[in-house]
Structure 1
Amino acid sequence: MDINELRETIIQHNGLQNTDEVYTFYYDETNNIRKLYLKDSGFNVNKADNFILAGILHKGLSTDSDYSTLFQMLNLQKSAHELKLKHIAKGGFLDMLKSDKILIILNWLIENKFYIHYFNLNITYWSIIDIVDSIISESRNPFYSINHMLLKSDFYELANSNSDIFLKALHDFNYPDVPEEKAHEFCLWLIDFTCMHNCVLSDFRASALEKLVKESLKIKELPFISGFHGRELIDSFMVFYLRNLYIFKNSTHIFDEEKSIQDEVKKFSLTENGMPIQNYEFVKSHNSEAVQLSDVIAGFLGKYFSYIKDVNDEQLQLDKAGLTSKQSMTLSALKHIIDVSDDVSRGFFNVVSSEGEQRRNNRFLHGVKL
């Protein structure tokens, strides 16, 4: 795949700055379930936490930062052969905010001019929004196109709050490959489900979503929910590893070893003007302090985005008001390094999640009122 046309489209559409600069990215991941598919009892996994691919980065191809000083400050047990999140903090996100060692790491990164990057994927949201996108794309109604994020978020909220019923129906309809002969029945079920459960939304948003799903009966086909492998929602996370490789094509990208991903990425040829791009490598984490730090950052952010996904607005405000001074200091350090990183390039961050999650993130981390 030649990267330039796709790359420029993404950069211009999202207003990404400084993407031609040279950086060195380090990566690790958390909540990589490998595959997601439907069973008659729901998903094949017990808990569908957000997939996070994240880590640290610095400008240029090298840094003179002294990792050994940081590791001494962390006072790790001698039995720890390499740095892992479990050595730094445990429990849920609010518990992790109490960790002295998390704060030490964040402050060291800030002082040494490191930045952070992340890709945050709500796998449930990603798996079901094609239903809404199919209707919007075929209805050609400007109102739906303009408000697509709100409509998809509201649909996700209904599905997520009634997940047993919703996922069982998707399984029965062989989603995401709904047979043509069942398409009308699927649309009728979709309308019934939405009308039955949209009481959790405001009247205006409930009405808008109801009108949208009723549009499905006027459409000849739903393009994004046919022609796939039935009941297979995600067959690999490989595509998400590629984005930074072509957005930041002049940079070096260093990943923690992941055999299945390595093989897939190697098979997927990225080219520029006909020449292959080889701007990445996979390394053993115990040989790279920066990858080990990325393990901590990815795990910490994984806990954060899982918290943001699951908490309701009322509890969020109570939690924010109840933070101790230590928790507030750690949260402030996290906000600071994200803000500094965003000032360098908004391209360091990529999010696929509901409008509700993004709104709660803005409230909790950035102080934007709900």
Structure 2
Amino acid sequence: MDVNKLREMLIRHNGLKNTDEVYTFYYDETNNIRKLYLKDSGFNVKKTDNFILAGILHKGLSTGSDYSTLFKMLNLQKSTQELKLKHIAKGDFLDMLKSDKLSIILNWLIDNKFYIHYFNLNIIYWSITDIIDSIIGELHHPFCIMNHMSLKSDFYELANSNSDVFLNALHEFNYPDIPEEKAHEFCLWLIDFTCIHSCMLSDFRANVLENLVKESLRIEELPFISGFHGRVLIDSFMVFYLRNLYLFKNSIHIFDEEKSIQDDVKDFPLTYNGMPIQNHKFVTSHNSEAVQLSDVIAGFLGKYFSYLKDVNDEQLVLDKTGLTSKQFKTLSALKHIIDVSDDVSRGFFNVVSSEGEQRRHNHFLHGVNF
């Protein structure tokens, strides 16, 4: 696959800078459920926390940083052969903010001119908003296109607050592979569901969303929710591993070994202007301190973004107000390293989540008012 046009479009559309520079990225993941599909009782998995592919990076192909100094500062047990998040912090996100060792790692990364990167995916949001994308894509209405994020986020909030009813209906309609003969019935159900539950939105936003789903009745087909394979919502996260490979094509990308992803990436070679992109490798984390640190970062961010997904606005405000000085110190270090990383390139961050999650992130980390 030649990614020239895709890469240039991504850079131009998002105003990304410094994507041609040379960096060394290290990766680990958390909450990789590998597959998500519908059953008559909901999903095939009990927990649907956000999938995170994240880690650390530095400029250039090498760094003079002394990892052994950091590991000594962490005062790990002598039996610890490989650094994992469980050695640094435990519990939920707010509990992890109490960890002195996590604060040490974040500040060491800052002092040694490391940056962090992450991909944050709300798997439910990503799986169901194709319904809205299908309608918007066929209508070509400028207002809907301009406000597609708000429309998808509002629809996600309705679905998430009534998940049992919503998921049972999707299962009955064989989503995301809705048979042609059931398309009209699905649209009628979609309209009823939206109009019944839209009372949780403001009057204006409820009206806009209701009017959009009503338009589905005059669309011949919904392209994103037909022609798939049964009730499978996610069959691989491989595509998200590729994004940084072509966006930061001059960099080196070092992943923790993951057999299924290795095979998938190998079977999906990338080219740029016809030239192969060969800029990644998979390593055993035991042999890479930077990948071990990426395990800590990915796991911590997994707790953070799943917290933002599940908490409501009111509780979030109470939680932030109630932070201890130790928790606030760790949060400040996280904010600092995200800010300095963002200053280098916003391309280090890729997020697929609802407006509510992003709003809560901006408030909790950056102090932006709701």
Q: Give the TM-score of the pair, scaled to structure 2.
A: 0.99
Deviations 1:213-236 (Å, cap 9, x if unpaired)? 101011111111011111000000
Once residues 37 and 30 of structure 2 are traced to their aligned partners in structure 1, the CA distance between those partners, rounded to angstroms, is 19
**Structure 1 vs Structure 2 CA RMSD:** 0.6
Q: Return the offset for 1:356.
A: 0.6
Once residues 202 and 211 of structure 1 are traced to their aligned partners in structure 2, the CA distance between those partners, rounded to angstroms, is 14
Give 1:44's aligned residue: 44
Q: Residues 143-292 of structure 1 correspond to what in structure 2 (within 5 A)?
A: 143-292=143-292
Once residues 8 and 316 of structure 1 are traced to their aligned partners in structure 2, the CA distance between those partners, rounded to angstroms, is 38
Q: Return the offset for 1:141.
A: 1.6
Give 1:315's aligned residue: 315
Structure 1 gaps, min length 5: none
Q: How many matched pairs?
A: 370
Match of 1:126, as an amino acid?
A: W
Once residues 207 and 271 of structure 2 are traced to their aligned partners in structure 1, the CA distance between those partners, rounded to angstroms, is 47
Deviations 1:217-269 (Å, cap 9, x if unpaired)? 11111111011111000000000000000000000000000000001000101
Once residues 72 and 165 of structure 1 are traced to their aligned partners in structure 2, the CA distance between those partners, rounded to angstroms, is 52
Q: Return the offset for 1:159.
A: 0.5
Give 2:358's aligned residue: 358
Deviations 1:198-221 (Å, cap 9, x if unpaired)? 111111111111111101011111
Give 1:344's aligned residue: 344
Give 1:120's aligned residue: 120
Deviations 1:269-301 (Å, cap 9, x if unpaired)? 111232221100000000000000000000000
Q: Give the TM-score of the pair, scaled to structure 1.
A: 0.99
Match of 1:45, as an amino acid?
A: V
Match of 1:31, as an amino acid?
A: N
Q: Return the offset for 1:5.
A: 1.2
Match of 2:204, as an amino acid?
A: F
The structure 1 segments of at least 4 consecutive aligned residues displaced by more than 2 Å after TM superposition are 272-275
Once residues 114 and 101 of structure 1 are traced to their aligned partners in structure 2, the CA distance between those partners, rounded to angstroms, is 17
Give 1:65's aligned residue: 65
Deviations 1:48-103 (Å, cap 9, x if unpaired)? 10000000000000000000000000011112110000000000000000000000
Report SS of the residue matched to 1:198.
Answer: helix
Report SS of the residue matched to 1:19.
Answer: coil
Report SS of the residue matched to 2:37.
Answer: strand
Give 2:99's aligned residue: 99
Give 1:325's aligned residue: 325
Structure 2 gaps, min length 5: none
Report SS of the residue matched to 1:26.
Answer: strand
Give 1:31's aligned residue: 31
Once residues 273 and 348 of structure 1 are traced to their aligned partners in structure 2, the CA distance between those partners, rounded to angstroms, is 23
Once residues 132 and 275 of structure 1 are traced to their aligned partners in structure 2, the CA distance between those partners, rounded to angstroms, is 37
Structure 1 position 21 matched with structure 2 position 18? no
Moved more, 72-81 or 248-257: 72-81
Once residues 322 and 303 of structure 2 are traced to their aligned partners in structure 1, the CA distance between those partners, rounded to angstroms, is 18
Q: Percent identity?
A: 84
Moved more, 272-281 or 342-351: 272-281
Match of 1:280, as an amino acid?
A: H
